[in-house]
A and B are shown apart, each in its own frame.
Chain A
Amino acid sequence: MQVFEEVLLWVANNIFNEVAILIGLITATGLILLRKPLEDVISGALRATIGIYVLFIGVNVFVGGLVAFQTIVAGAFDLAPPTATASMADFLVDQGSTIALIITVGFFFHALAVRVFRLKYIYLTGHLMFWMSVVVTAALVQGFGDMSQWTLVLLGSAIVATYWTLQPMYMAPLMRKVIGSDQWAYGHTSSSAAWLAGKIGPAFGNKEEHDTEKLHLPKKLSFFKDVNVSTALVIGIIMLLAMAAVAIRGNTELLAEQAAAYSATINPWVWGVVSALRFAAGIAILLFGVRMFLAEIVPAFKGVSERLIPGSAPALDCPTVFPFAPTAVMVGFLSSTIVFLVLMGVFAAAGWFVLVPPMIMLFFPGGAAGVFGNAVAGWRGAAVGGAINGLFLAFGQWAMWGMLSDTAPELATLADPDWYLMVWLILMVAEPFTLQALLGWGALAFILVAGAFYLRDRREVLVIPETETAAAAAELTTRPDEELLPPKIPADSSS
């Protein structure tokens, strides 16, 4: 009995507590279930495991660059930089295994729900499944404090599974407007901004008159599509401007001190540029690590779900809508960025918070909101969609930093609109009487009442996604079911 306990303890300390090894084992299990040859199982599991370590290294570099940026920009406005009692880097190491378990168990619950309720869409946007699991874990630990790991895993899995099941469904009607079919669904944590763009857009214009694809944007702006380039440029320019403001205020010791912490001999202005580049490098490394482990896990998940739920369609990443309106993507992105930068100035001048421009979240959710806004209201809708995203990102980053200050505040600077809502929801339940919780309960009550009135006349929305026009409805009911399914894998496939 003693030996058994010691074995369990050893397993708990060395496997379950070491997230990279746990991910490696989960990957290996998935690959074995797909009957992959042994060399594929070993190399797949190793790549997934190494990917996690690369991710951790990237997070450390990123957090270091973030702190430097926040300190300087805060100094420019004579504010204190945002503080927190904890850091994401430590949080990922401590809670990593919980996160890994939530992704796996959550996906299993999600697949089960899709199967049992005969729903159509299975969420396959791997990197967001990872991040949403991190966000939910951070919010649960922040809100409910110490829980046993199993409670945390079960609760977290139930939450993410519910989100992954519902999110593609409420986006389905708008998705059909954009891509003109049911072939795949929208699976991205920008869904709240995109949905709002689709609903509010029509108040500002209409698609026929104002379609973005009839506009021509200058080619010079296309370099913004490269995340590394746009991050380095935007952060670098703001950093140098902020350093100039600090110098003008006469606080050159701050600059010298920060630069010296990096290297005794470097010139502070050069250090500023170096910091921005290292910030971008941290993001690049982090993304490389995520890509590495996802490359192994997502095919395993897809293979398993294809066996469990034949005939389902995948819910996919937001760029899948970009080809339908590429100019709308740029309009949405630019609108998002302008709104965010303006708010950044406002927040700093008012002494509230030092915002960090999140280039990835300005581009992807901004672009997606642009596409959905354009689908209902042309370029005006696209611009409004981008603005909605910018507002979400600015206010959300500010709120979430504080809301997660004991666990992983830096998540606020990496977050998409849905993340903010998720954290808010979880904390509303955990701490129901804070000001933000009360605001949340009020908003929820309003939405429920408004929703009840809206749905009263449209009962079919609850069961089958609503079809907007008679033509679309006729088309969907007369096409044989096979046409709506994803292409079948040939019978002799090895996967």
Chain B
Amino acid sequence: MTTITKGYDEELTVLTVCGVGMGSSLILRMTAEDAFRDLGLKARVTATDTSSARSMPADMIIGQAMHTEELQGVAPAVISVDSFLDREELKHKVLTAMHELGWLQHDTPVS
């Protein structure tokens, strides 16, 4: 039985969220796209607001803690960040979350 690995064979569906879905989530989306590219993962990142995020199926949701705490359970991976520009913080958190969900391929280092 072959398993499809998210981020490698299949694109990750990622939502970046903020309160109104405009300024902050868009910047976060650009940081996230850069982060996924650095990590060599395939991802489709959409910026949106917390209300809409509830009705959009996703593998991963990224946002500030004050928003992600309400979205726990809406997606398998819910990641809180403090900075919208810190690519390293985001890469670390993405890898940690994917490792906990068993999505990482064996040879990917979790830094």
Contacts and interface: CB of A to CB of B under 8 A. Distances in A.
Q: Give the size category of A's interface with B.
A: 35 or more
A312 B69 CA distance: 33
Interface in B70-98: 70, 82-88
B18 interface: yes
B38 interface: yes
B56 interface: no
Contacts of A287: 20-22, 49
B66 A322 contact: yes
Contacts, number: 100
B85 A291 contact: no
Interface stretch (A259-267, A292-300, A423-431): A292-300
A124 B24 CA distance: 10
Q: Chain A CB within 10 Å — which of B23, B48, B65 has the most?
A: B23
Contacts of B27: 124, 298, 314, 316-317, 320
Contacts of A486: 85
A405 to B, nearest CB: 28
Given A228-B51, A489-B34, A322 B64 contact: yes
Contacts of B22: 126-127, 287, 290-291, 294, 317
Interface in A167-186: 183-184
Nearest to B24: A319
Contacts of B85: 183-184, 314, 486-487
Q: Is the interface of A mostly helix, strand, loop or mixed?
A: helix
Q: Chain B CB within 10 Å — which of A222, A319, A487, A493 has the most?
A: A319
Interface in B48-68: 48-52, 64-67
A322 B83 CA distance: 10
B37 interface: yes
A316 B47 contact: no
A295 B47 contact: yes
B26 to A, nearest CB: 5
Contacts of B65: 323, 326
A227 B20 contact: yes
Interface residues of B, number: 33
A291 B21 contact: yes
Interface string A323-341: 1001001000000000000
A152 B27 CA distance: 31
Interface string B11-25: 000000011111110
A239 to B, nearest CB: 21
Interface string A213-241: 00000000010011111000000000000
Q: Chain B CB within 10 Å — which of A127, A184, A188, A323 has the most?
A: A323
A490 interface: yes
A137 interface: no
Nearest to B82: A323
A128 interface: yes
A290 B25 CA distance: 13
Given A184-B85, A287-B49, A294-B26, A323 B66 contact: yes
Nearest to B81: A323
B41 interface: no
A125 interface: yes
Contacts of A322: 64, 66
B104 interface: no
A464 to B, nearest CB: 22
A379 interface: no
A486 B31 CA distance: 11
Given A225-B19, A227-B20, 5 more contacts: A287-B22, A295-B46, A317-B27, A323-B83, A326-B65
22 contacts: A183-B85, A184-B84, A188-B23, A225-B66, A226-B50, A227-B20, A227-B49, A229-B51, A291-B26, A291-B47, A291-B48, A291-B49, A316-B24, A319-B64, A320-B84, A323-B64, A323-B83, A326-B65, A364-B19, A487-B86, A487-B87, A493-B34
